[in-house]
Amino acid sequence: MSYRHLSESERSVIFYLQMDHRSQAEIARILGRHRSSIGRELGRNVSACGQYLPGLAQQRARGRRQGRRRARTGDEALMAHVDQKLRARWSPEQIAGRLKAQPPKHLAGRSISHTTIYRWIWSDRRRAERFRPYLRIAWRKRRKPYGKASKRGQIPGRVSIEERPEVAAGRQRIGDWEADTVVGKGRSGYVTTAVDRASRYLVARKLDRCTAMRINGALHDGMRRLPAEKRQTLTTDNGREFAGHRRLGKLLGLQVYFAHPYSAWERGTCENTNGLLRQYLPKKTDFSMLTDWQLASYVWQLNSRPRKCLSYRTPAEVFHERPVALDM
């Protein structure tokens, strides 16, 4: 289903629901929109005093759409100028920037973006061959910085952390896990870790190779004996080793979610626990010398260490008891 812009009536609904102190997630559910759309709308269409007004928001949205002009590649004088500067080995970005900052008298009031220049060059084979020697990156076409992303290296069927239940984000129950991988020196071995967000309870297994099949096997072996009610969700990063998340979710009876790229803080519990594990397995440790017994010993010590965030109870004490109000 293609995206459609918010209507004026929807903006009025957003205004009244916000005045009623509804959350962005709740407004999104009522309108049938993604909550990121509501977040963007409230972020860029507020007044100078920080208030969201539907009339002002509609006016700004209409202005942004009207401000999108078609490329001016049909302007002979403008494109002659672009041609001249390209032959002088100016980059498209330099041409566009200089034209905007200090335009020649005969081109006053005209502009063109560097993206449009690149598109103009590569849209014609003969033109591309003519200008290729003058471009700094001449051996391949420039990729657009927007639009449909390449599927190479992506994980199919991934579910964003934005869809994770709020109870998991609030650490209000046992059974919401975060997973990651610790790498040994020279990739001599790997340790996959899973940490419960509420209790900080750690499960870890050693691997010789970091593949989706090995990760699934290790996490299944470490978590399958846990009670079903203590296996609710699992949040991971976007590493290819978690590409088998669908099968893992079926094996363990939980839903797997993926954090945003380069957002380690969204899995802060696991990152912090991996840092504690590094006290026993510092960087440059050869994991090929690590035995399963040694790793189990380190995990037991971490699960038996009292934590301030747990009111100085241990992760094992909190995890193996019934959920209680934790001091977070």
pLDDT computed for residue 316 by the predictor? 93
Q: What is the pLDDT of residues 230-264, one digit of tens each?
A: 999 999 999 889 999 999 999 999 999 999 988 88
Q: What is the pLDDT of residues 34-89, one digit of tens each?
A: 988 888 888 888 877 778 888 888 888 877 766 555 556 778 889 999 999 998 88
Name the band, by pLDDT with cuts 50, 70 and 90, for residue 324.
Answer: very low
pLDDT computed for residue 8 by the predictor? 86
pLDDT computed for residue 3 by the predictor? 67
Angle between helices 76-87 and 92-101 (to 10 degrees): 130
- Label residue 169 exposed, middle or buried (CB < 10 Å: 0-12, 13-18, 19+): middle
- Taking alpha carbons only, the member of 66, 61, 67 closest to residue 11 is 61
Q: What is the pLDDT of residues 189-205, one digit of tens each?
A: 999 999 999 999 999 99
User: Using an 8 Å Cβ cutoff, are 110 and 72 in contact?
Assistant: yes
pLDDT computed for residue 75 by the predictor? 84
- Label residue 21 exposed, middle or buried (CB < 10 Å: 0-12, 13-18, 19+): exposed
Question: What is the average per-residue pLDDT within 282-293?
Answer: 92
Q: Please state, for a pLDDT cut of 90, what percent of the chain lies above it.
A: 40
pLDDT computed for residue 237 by the predictor? 92
CA quadruple 255, 152, 212, 293: dihedral sign: negative
pLDDT computed for residue 323 by the predictor? 44
pLDDT computed for residue 82 by the predictor? 92
One-letter amino acid identity for 319? F
Name the band, by pLDDT with cuts 50, 70 and 90, for residue 4.
Answer: confident
pLDDT computed for residue 213 by the predictor? 92
pLDDT computed for residue 152 by the predictor? 47
pLDDT computed for residue 72 by the predictor? 63
Name the band, by pLDDT with cuts 50, 70 and 90, for residue 303.
Answer: very high
- Taking alpha carbons only, the member of 121, 321, 155 closest to residue 237 is 155
Name the band, by pLDDT with cuts 50, 70 and 90, for residue 326.
Answer: very low
Q: What is the pLDDT of residues 201-236, one digit of tens each?
A: 999 999 999 999 999 999 999 999 999 999 999 999
3-state helix/strand/coil string of the chain? CCCCCCCHHHHHHHHHHHHCCCCHHHHHHHHCCCHHHHHHHHHHCECCCCCECHHHHHHHHHHHHHCCCCCCCCCHHHHHHHHHHHHCCCCHHHHHHHHHHCCCHHHCCCCCCHHHHHHHHHCCHHHHHHHHHHCCCCCCCCCCCCCCCCCCCCCCCCCEHHHCCHHHHCCCCCCEEEEEEEECHHHCCEEEEEEECCCCCEEEEEECCCCHHHHHHHHHHHHCCCCHHHCCEEEECCCHHHCCHHHHHHHHCCEEEECCCCCHHHHHHHHHHHHHHCCCCCCCCCHHHCCHHHHHHHHHHHHCCCEHHHCCECHHHHHHCCCCCCCC
Q: What is the pLDDT of residues 129-177, one digit of tens each?
A: 888 888 876 555 555 555 555 454 578 888 999 999 989 888 889 999 9
pLDDT computed for residue 149 by the predictor? 52
End-to-end CA distance of the chain: 41
Q: What is the pLDDT of residues 82-127, one digit of tens each?
A: 999 998 888 888 898 888 888 888 888 888 988 889 889 888 888 8
Give the Cα separation of 226 and 196 in Å (integer).
Answer: 12
